[in-house]
Structure 1
Amino acid sequence: MSAVAVADVLPGQIALVTPVDPIYRGGYARVRVDLSSSSVQFDDLSFAIAEGPHVATISPSRDETFDLAKPEIMLLAGPFPGVFSLEAKDSSGGVVARAPFAITNQWLEPDGPPMAFTGANPLYASGGNWGALFNGVWPFEFSYGPKAVTGARRVALIFVNTTDSMLPAGTDTLYRDALVNGVTGADGVTRSVSAFYDEVSLGQLNISPAGESIVTLPKAWSAYTQPVNTDLRVRFDARDELIADAMWLAQNDIDFTDVDIAVFVVASPSGGAPVMPGGPQQFTWPIASGGTYQLNQPQPTFAPWFWWWKSLPWVVMPAEWQTLDSRRVFATLSHEIGHTIGMTDLYNDPRDIGGWDLMSQEGGLPGLSLPHRQVLGWIEPDWLRKYNFLIENPVDEEVVLRASELLVGGPTPGQLAGLVIEVANGWRYYFEYRSRQNAVPGSDPGPTQ
C-alpha cells in the first residue's frame, strides 16, 4: 500500500501529523497534534475516526513521555485494511483538523510490527524449574512454569487452504480422529491425543474439541512459509501472519472465547512435492508457539471499539504429514500439544533419554518421563522417595516401585511412584519403573523395560 496524503489543515490552524506508512492491523502509531499556529488548548480537543470506531480508535492514556507542550495521541488500528480519516474536534463538536491514515494487513519489514492489545498477554511457560531439597526458599514441591496442568484444554481445528494449495480429501477426518475420536492400530489399541493425555495425566487433563473451520487464505503458500534454513525470527513472522489470517476467517465458524489451543492444518503445494526433482519438499514443518491476535467475532461488549484480542498457544501441522513422514498424526500432534502445556524438546539436550519420553521421540508414542509428569502436577510429592545425603545415609534400603502406567489413584501401599536423588541444588536423578500395558495408548515404555 502506498503512503497516504498529507493532512488537511482546517480553519483554526491545527495539524494532525499521522504516519506516512500504513499501520499494521491491530497495531498502533503516535500522532503528533501540532498546535503551534493555534490558540486552542489540547485538553479542549477530542479525537475520533470519521468512518467510525470499528476501523480504528484513540487510546486516552498518557504515558511518561507525554508532553503537553508537544502533545501526541496514540492511534490504534482496527482489523480492516484501507485509508481512513482521523479528526480533531473542538468543545462544540466541530471538526477543526483532519488527517488520513492507512491500515494494512501486509507487513514486509524485518522487525515488528508493533501491536496494541488489551487484557492479559500470557507467557507460555516452558520447561519448568524445580525447587530443591536444599533450598528453604524454593522447596522441593515448588515449580516455576507449567505445574498443575489439569482440567480441560479445548482444541480448535482450523484447516487451511491458500490460493495455490488445497487440502487433500479426508484431511478433516484424519485430524479429527487423531485428536479425539481415535485411530485403531494393528495391535487393537485405539490411540489419540485425548486418550494419550488422559492416560499420562492419570485422568487429570482432558483434551476436547472446540470447533472446526475450513478457510482459504488470500495469499499463496510461500507468503506464509519460509525455508527451514531461514532466520528463526523471519520464519515465525511468516507463520504468525498465517495464524492471524486464518483466525480472522475461522472466527465466523468458531467462538474463540471458548478455545484454549488452536491447531492449524495447512495444505502443501503439490502435496509437499519438491519444485525440482531431488530438491527440498514443500510443507509446513510441525511447530508450536503462541501469540495474541485481533478478532471481531463475537462482538465485544466491554470496550468502545469493535474488536478484541485473543491470546492462545497454537500448533501448525501439514495436512499431508503421514505421506511426508513415517510418524503418525496422533503422535506428532501429541508432541506439539505438549509444547502448548509447557514441555520443551528433549532431543537437543546432551542428556537426551531417547524413546523414553514423547518430547524426545514421539514416533512410537511413548509415555512421559517421571520429571515431566511431576512438574506438570500429575505426580503427588508423597508418591516419591526423596534422598538427601546431606542429612541421611541410608544403607541397604529396599523400595518397591509401581509401574508408571499403573499409577491411577496412586501407588498401592508399600509401593512408590519413583525415587529422587538430590545431587546439587536443582540437579537430580530420577528413577522410575516402566512396563508396557496392553490396550493403553501411551504405554510404550521406551527402548527396553
Structure 2
Amino acid sequence: MADVFLRLSKRPLFVGSYLKVPVRIDPKSGLLMEDLDFIVREGPPGGRVSVSQERQTQEKAPSIMLLVGYRPGDYALQALKKGTTTVVGEARFRVDALWPSEEVGPPRWFDGQGTGFASGAAWGGGPAGPQNINVVPATGTRRIAILLVDTSSQRFTTDAATLQAHRDRWLNEVVNGVTDGGVTRSTRQFYQEVSYGAFTLSAEVFGPVELPGSYDDYFNADNSPKGTYYQACFTAGDGLINYNNFDTLLCVSQPVTGATPRAAWPYASIGNWGPYTTAEGNKNYGVISMPNEWGVTDTREIHETLAHELGHNLGLGDQYAPSVPGRNPGAWEMMDADDPLPHFSLSHRMMLGWVPAAAVQSFNFVSMGVPVDQTITLHPAEAQTLPAGRKRGIEVRLADGWNYYFEYRAGQVTQIADRNLPTDSRVLGTDVVSGPFSPPIARPAILLLNNDGDGDGSVLGNGQDYEETDTTDPVFPTDFRVDVSGEDGTKAEVRIRYGVNSRPDPSIRPWPASPDRQWQSPDIEVRNVRNQANPAWFNVPWEGNTNTVIARVKNNGSLDAPGVRVNFFVKNYNIGGTPETFLGTDVRDVAAGATVEFSTTWTPPNQGHFCVIARIPLYQNPTNPSVVEMTELNNLAQSNYDRFISRTASPATREVSFMEVGNPYPLRTRIFIVAGQNNPAYRTYLETAWLTLNPGETRRVKVMYEFAFDPRQPSKEQQERRIFREFGGKPNNVGLTAFIEDPRDTPRHAIQVLGGAQAQVATGRATRFEDFEVRDGVVRGTIVTVDDGKPVRGGKVILSVTTGRGKKQEKKYQTLEVAKGRFQAQIPQVAGGTVEAYYVPPEGLADCSREPVRL
C-alpha cells in the first residue's frame, strides 16, 4: 500500500499547463515532505515538478506543482524516498493539446528566456529630430517555419505529387518567387524591396501533420483561430521542427470542402506571442494562420497577404480599423490593403528602422521661434539609394507624438510593389499619431490628411497644395501650407511654409520608460521611505504607508501655461480595460519649455498591487479660454509595476499576485495574454492564456513567480549549474501584455494592444525578526536568516511610529542601519501609539516585517 497519496485530475492536462497536486502522507509511514523527491517518471516530455510553496499557504496541507510537459501521452507522477529510486506513491495522468473551452484558456507555466511583447512608442522625441525612428526595428533575416496542418474534418491528400506541389507553392510564394505576366514576385522580394535591403526572409516547409480534433475544435465560426490552435500546431510539429531555428510559425491549414465549406481566415499575432511549449523549451514566436487554398479560391495571392500578416509579426497594426470615412490609407499602405501590394508608408518604414533620421527633414512647429519657408527635394520612396541633397520624407511636428508626414510615391518599373498606386507619382500626406492607444480607439495610427479648403487633399500633384489655418493661435491666425512642384518620376519639390506658433502644450509621456521598464511612464514616479532606503524598490508603491506620486509635466509649446491641472488616479494591477479610482489633483504653472513636478499623496491598502495614472484635462488658459493647447493626445500616462522576492529557505517561496483585465468595448470580445521573462533561473505561472469577456466585464487573473533553484542543493546537470551561476544573483523582469480583438471587425482580424504590466522578481534568503523590543523610548532588535538563525549582513530597518486615529492619524518614519543583524533607535513615547518595523535587505536577502507593538 502506498505511503504517499497524490490526487490528480482524471481529465487530460493541456501541454504546458500546470496543476497543484495535494500530497497526503500516511502518518504511519513516518515520512515528512522533506523526506521525499517528486518526479515525472518519463521525464521532461511528460513534465516536471516544483516543490516551492505559496508563502501565504506554507502552514496548510502540503502540495506540489505539476508542470505539464510538451508531448501528448500517458505519464506517471511519482513520489520517491529522497535520494533513492524507491517509489512510495504514484498517480497517472494524460497530456493532450485539446482544450474544451473557448471562454477561458488553459493555465501556463514557463521558464527560460522569452522577451514577450516589447512595447514601442515614439513619444518624447522632444524638439529636435524626427520621431517614430526604430520603434519596432526589423533588420536581418526573419526565419519562417511553414507547417502544413490538417484536422480530422478533412485531411491533406496522400498523393505524394500533390503534397509536393503544396509545399513548392508555399515556398515559392514566400521566398523563391512565382512568375505572373513575366514578373517574379515573393514575400521575401517585397520585404527586401521595401526595406532597402535591410530585412529579408528565409523559410522551410514541414508536414503535413495531423491534429486529432475536428475543424471546429480549432477554429471559431468566423474562421479565426481558437485560443489553443497555435499551441496545437507547435505540438504537432514538434517532431519535425527545431524551433530554435525559426522566428515565425506559419500554420497552413487544410480547408474543409463539402456542403458547408470552411477555411481559415488569415490571422497573425502583433509581435511575438506565447510562450508556447516545445521540446526546445518555452518559445515566444510570431504566429500566423492561413488556409492552404489562399490565392486559389480568393483573388488575393499568398505573397501579398503574407506580407501584411508578417507586418503584424513585426509589430504593426491594421490601418483600416476603425474606419474613418475618406481618410484610411487604403492602397497607399500595406497594413490597410495588401491586394494592390503597396509599400509601407513613410512612418511605418521609419518605425521598422529602414529610414534613418538623417533621411527625414523635420520641422517642429511647436517650438519654432521664426516663420518657416523652405523647399525640400523628395526622392521617390521606392528608390533603393538616396542621392545627396535629397530626403525620403518630411515630418511636421504638431505636438509630441502627433506628426504630419509627406513622401513622394512613384512606382519603379524594376520593382514588384507600388505598381498599382491609386495615383502614381504623387506626394502623399499622412496624419500619424504614435502609440500607445487605449482601445476602443477612434482612429488608426495612420490617416490620410483631411481634405483642405480648395479640395487638393492629401495626394498632391504638380501645382497642388495642402493648406490649414490655425485660427486658435492667441497672437494671430497661423497659416500652414505645402506646395508641390517638379514631380517628374525622379523627384518632387515640396515647399513648406508656416508662421510662428504661439500655443501652450502641457504634456506627459506614456510607456515605455526604457527597455527594462516597458509598462512604466518615464514621467511618473512613486516615492516613499522604502525606495529612498533602497533604490531596488524604485517606483514601487509601499502598501500601508505614505507614498508621494509625482508627475513630471513638460510644456512643449512656445506660450506659458498657467494653471495646469493634473488629476491622479489608481487602479488595481492590470493589463488594460479596468476602472480607476481618483487619488487627488495638483495645479501648477508651467512656463514655455519648462518641466514641472506635480504631486499627490497616497496610502495604498495593505494588500494589493497597483497602477498609477496621471491625466491632464484639456488645457485652456484660465484667463483666456480661447487659448487651447496643441492636442490632448499627450495628456495621459501610467505606470504598472510590481516587485517580489522569492524567499529561499526550504524550498523557495512562490509569490502570488493578481492582475485585472477588462473589456472596454460595447461588444463581447476575446483578450489574449502574452508573457515573457528575461531570467532562466526563475519560473512564472499564468492562470490563463486568454479570456472572453462581456462588455465592461473585468476579471482577475492570478500570476505567480518563483526562483527555480535551491541554492543549497544545486542541480547536478551541467546546464542548470551554469544557469544558476550566471543568473542566480540577478532579478527577473516579467512582462505581461494583453491584446484585444476589435469585436466590430468581421471576420475577427484587427487586434490592438490593450495594455501591459511588469513585475520584477528577485531572490533572497528568507529573514525574520528574532527579537523586537520597545522599552523606555528605545527600540532595539535583531534580524536573522531563517535557514541558519545567523545575524543578517547589512541592510536597513524602517521604523514607523503611528499616532492618532482617523483623520488625525499620523505616521512618522525613521531609517536605521543594520550592523551584524542588530539595530537600535530612540523614538518618541506617545501613549496609544504603535511602532512597527520593516527590514529593507541588501541583494541576496529577503525582506521581512514585524507587526505593530503598542507604545
SS in 1 for 2:335: coil
**How many angstroms does 1:336 deviate by?**
0.7
SS in 2 for 1:213: strand
Change in 2 beyond 3 A, CA 1:181/1:211: same
2:111 aligns to what? 118
- AA in 2 matched with 1:293: Y
Q: Distance in 2 between matches of 1:76 and 1:352?
A: 47
Of residues 345, 348, 354 in structure 1, which corresponds to 2:321? Answer: 348
Q: Distance in 1 between matches of 2:294 and 2:176?
A: 18
1:165 aligns to what? 154
Q: Distance in 2 between matches of 1:338 and 1:142?
A: 16
Q: Max radius of gyration: which structure? A: 2
1:368 aligns to what? 344
**How many angstroms does 1:66 deviate by?**
4.9
- What does 1:13-52 align with in structure 2 at a 5 Å threshold? 14-35=4-25, 37=27, 39-52=30-43
1:383·1:418 contact (CA, 8 Å) conserved in 2? yes
Q: Distance in 1 between matches of 2:361 and 2:303?
A: 34
Query: What are structure 2's unaligned runs of at least 5 residues?
Result: 425-855
**How many angstroms does 1:328 deviate by?**
1.2
- AA in 2 matched with 1:358: M
2:99 maps to 1:107: yes
- What's the CA shift string for 1:45-82, capped at 9, x where partnerless? 21123445542221244443450543221111223445
Of residues 387, 401, 416 in structure 2, which corresponds to 1:441? Answer: 416
1:83·1:103 contact (CA, 8 Å) conserved in 2? yes
2:311 maps to 1:317: no
TM-score normalised by the chain length of structure 1? 0.83
Change in 2 beyond 3 A, CA 1:435/1:144: closer
1:167·1:266 contact (CA, 8 Å) conserved in 2? no
2:140 aligns to what? 151
1:381 aligns to what? 357
2:42 maps to 1:55: no
- AA in 2 matched with 1:199: E
2:15·2:97 contact (CA, 8 Å) conserved in 1? yes
Of residues 216, 224, 227 in structure 2, which corresponds to 1:222? Answer: 216
- What's the CA shift string for 1:299-336, capped at 9, x where partnerless? x6xxxxxxx33321111111111232211111011111
Change in 2 beyond 3 A, CA 1:353/1:132: farther
**How many angstroms does 1:142 deviate by?**
6.6
2:147·2:207 contact (CA, 8 Å) conserved in 1? yes
Which is further off, 24-33 or 83-92? 83-92
- AA in 2 matched with 1:247: F
Q: Distance in 1 between matches of 2:134 and 2:388?
A: 31
Q: Distance in 1 between matches of 2:156 and 2:14?
A: 29
Which is further off, 22-31 or 391-400? 391-400
- AA in 1 matched with 2:300: R
1:210·1:258 contact (CA, 8 Å) conserved in 2? no
Change in 2 beyond 3 A, CA 1:429/1:445: farther
SS in 2 for 1:116: strand
2:378·2:408 contact (CA, 8 Å) conserved in 1? yes
1:129·1:143 contact (CA, 8 Å) conserved in 2? no
1:294 aligns to what? 277
Count of residues in Structure 1 that have an aligned counterpart in Structure 2? 408
TM-score normalised by the chain length of structure 2? 0.45
1:20·1:101 contact (CA, 8 Å) conserved in 2? yes
Q: Distance in 1 between matches of 2:358 and 2:98?
A: 54
SS in 2 for 1:333: helix
Of residues 355, 358, 383 in structure 1, which corresponds to 2:334? Answer: 358
Change in 2 beyond 3 A, CA 1:258/1:423: same
Change in 2 beyond 3 A, CA 1:36/1:160: closer
Of residues 201, 207, 212 in structure 2, which corresponds to 1:213? Answer: 207
1:367·1:444 contact (CA, 8 Å) conserved in 2? no
2:186 maps to 1:192: yes
Of residues 372, 385, 392 in structure 2, which corresponds to 1:395? Answer: 372
**How many angstroms does 1:29 deviate by?**
0.5
Change in 2 beyond 3 A, CA 1:53/1:426: closer
For the aligned residue pairs, the C-alpha RMSD in angstroms reads: 2.7
2:196 aligns to what? 202
- AA in 2 matched with 1:397: Q
2:265 maps to 1:285: yes
2:258 maps to 1:266: no
**How many angstroms does 1:153 deviate by?**
0.6
1:130·1:140 contact (CA, 8 Å) conserved in 2? no
Tell me which protein shows more helix as a share of its residues.
1
SS in 1 for 2:27: coil
**How many angstroms does 1:141 deviate by?**
4.7
Change in 2 beyond 3 A, CA 1:200/1:81: closer
2:407 maps to 1:432: yes
Which is further off, 203-212 or 387-396? 387-396
Change in 2 beyond 3 A, CA 1:200/1:267: same
Q: Distance in 2 between matches of 1:267 and 1:159?
A: 8
- AA in 1 matched with 2:176: N
2:71 maps to 1:71: no
Q: Distance in 1 between matches of 2:240 and 2:71?
A: 19
**How many angstroms does 1:378 deviate by?**
0.5
